[in-house]
Amino acid sequence: MYSIEESGAFVETFELEPTHSGPLDGLRWAAKDLIDVAGYKTGCGNPTWRETHPPAVTNAVCVDQLLSAGARCVGKTLTDELAFSLDGENYFYGTPVNPRAPDRVPGGSSSGSASAVACRQVDFALGTDTGGSIRIPANNCGIYGMRPSHDRVSLAGVMAFAPTYDTVGVLAADPSILDLTARVLLGCAEAREARVGTMYLISEAFEQADDAVRSALAEPVERLRRRYGDRIKELSLENLSESSAPDLFRTWFEAFRVVQWAEIWSSLGDWVERCRPEFGPRTRNNFSLVRGLDRSEVGAAVRQREFLFRRLHWILESGDVLCMPTAPAFAPVKGSLPNNRSEGSYYPRTVSFNSLSGVGRLPQVSMPLGESGGVPVGLSLLTRHGEDAFLLDVMAQVVQGAA
């Protein structure tokens, strides 16, 4: 396996004692370097940010929750610059290793958290996810990752990026550790037997995924069919969107994108203009895109977003689950992505897949159930907003079936 130095997953290491004994006794974990740990700088993956901010004076609330549940924090993990990426290639600090596919990117922006978990350097790690930043690294590195329902885990002490979509969540190699940890963060009910209503396979997500991804997931999907029988149904985005536009993911993507870009500039524009940070080429491009947004569009985008949210929750009943590939494509080969995220298909397609839970405020878990030629592929489950405890119950049921 990889040493801490070889993996490049950590920004720094230390040992923070738990403050109480609890359900996470004995577990070791790390926090993405977007999350405050008292006494350490929150570097956010950019050297100018690190220079212009002092060490945090107190822990983020999520850090205190984990310490008081018995877990020991052993370091901070690398993030893509200001969380604004899905690749994990940090121009300044390098690319944490993806131990399952070392020629491919680990995924970002929670790149170091995924790498540290996949290298078995920690039992779990905290990440953040606005448009895929936990789910994509979990997918790429062959581990479990959960984006909780929006507004269920405290964001205090975590860098604000796009607050309408920002979440704190967790990555782990062992689903039972993911379960335990997520329940501490969520302050939610204990595990129970899941009673699944309908499990919907999202038609367009399976159709638009690369053939190789679909093939890699054929067997896990077949197991779901055997497990849930006629409770498995197909669901088209046409039903979810009340529209028959030719590319329906585009509708979700656009509602997501406009609000996200407007919020990123509202959150970080002051610092960018004041400090004139040095950026890597991709980040520079990203910020020139968000700075150039026509902000008078944002009112219409919020209305569209809320329409899709209501429509989704009108169709999904309590106990229903959505299922889709986490990503439309394999983890890209290192160095292969364009500097402008609007070019090429990887970013628009991947953000589209991930926008379903962003727009819908849905919790989502990515499970490492497929692979092809050694490259891991994730299958995702989603459910109604706020039903995170149920989603964890369903994950346990599905994984049990897979074992």
Kindly list the residues in this chain that would bind a copy of itself in the complex (CB under 8 A).
19-20, 22, 36, 53-54, 56-61, 64-65, 67-69, 150-151, 154-157, 160, 162-164, 184, 186-189, 259, 262-263, 265-267, 269-270, 272-274, 295-300, 302-307, 310, 361
Minimum CB separation from a copy of itself for residue 327, in Å? 26
Cβ pair 156, 61 in contact under 8 A: yes
DSSP track, 148-175:
PPTTSS--TTB--S-TTT--EEEEESSH
- Minimum CB distance to a copy of itself smaller for 229 or for 292: 292
Minimum CB separation from a copy of itself for residue 320, in Å? 18
Question: Catalytic pick from 7, 32, 352, 357?
Answer: 32
Of the candidates 126, 187, 127, 132, the residue with the CA atom closest to the CA atom of residue 165: 132
Whether residue 109 has a cis bond before it, omega within 30° of 0: yes
243 catalytic? Reply is no
Minimum CB separation from a copy of itself for residue 54, in Å? 5
Minimum CB separation from a copy of itself for residue 105, in Å? 28
Residues facing residue 10 across a β-bridge: 77
Burial of 106 (0-12, 13-18, 19+ CB in 10 A): buried
Question: Catalytic pick from 7, 85, 109, 366?
Answer: 109
Minimum CB separation from a copy of itself for residue 49, in Å? 13
Residue 323's H or E segment, with its range, is strand 321-325
Minimum CB separation from a copy of itself for residue 136, in Å? 23
- Minimum CB distance to a copy of itself smaller for 232 or for 268: 268
In whole angstroms, what is the distance from residue 179 CA to residue 177 CA?
Answer: 5
- In sequence order, the 6+-apart residues with CB closer than 8 A to the CB of 20 are 67, 68, 69, 70
- Minimum CB distance to a copy of itself smaller for 67 or for 377: 67
Instruction: Quote the tokens at residue 79.
Output: 């993030």
Of the candidates 134, 86, 89, the residue with the CA atom closest to the CA atom of residue 114: 134
DSSP state of 329: S
φ, ψ of residue 13 to 5 degrees: the values are -125, 150
32 catalytic? Reply is yes
In whole angstroms, what is the distance from residue 262 CA to residue 305 CA?
Answer: 14
Question: Catalytic pick from 133, 241, 357, 380?
Answer: 133
DSSP state of 144: E
Residue entry with tokens 């203009």: 273
Rg (CA), the chain: 19
Task: List the 321-325 sheet strands across, edge first.
Answer: 10-16, 72-77, 28-32, 124-128, 168-172, 144-147, 364-372, 375-383, 321-325, 199-202, 232-235
109 catalytic? Reply is yes
Minimum CB separation from a copy of itself for residue 92, in Å? 23
- Minimum CB distance to a copy of itself smaller for 123 or for 204: 123
Instruction: Return the active site residues.
Output: 32, 109, 133
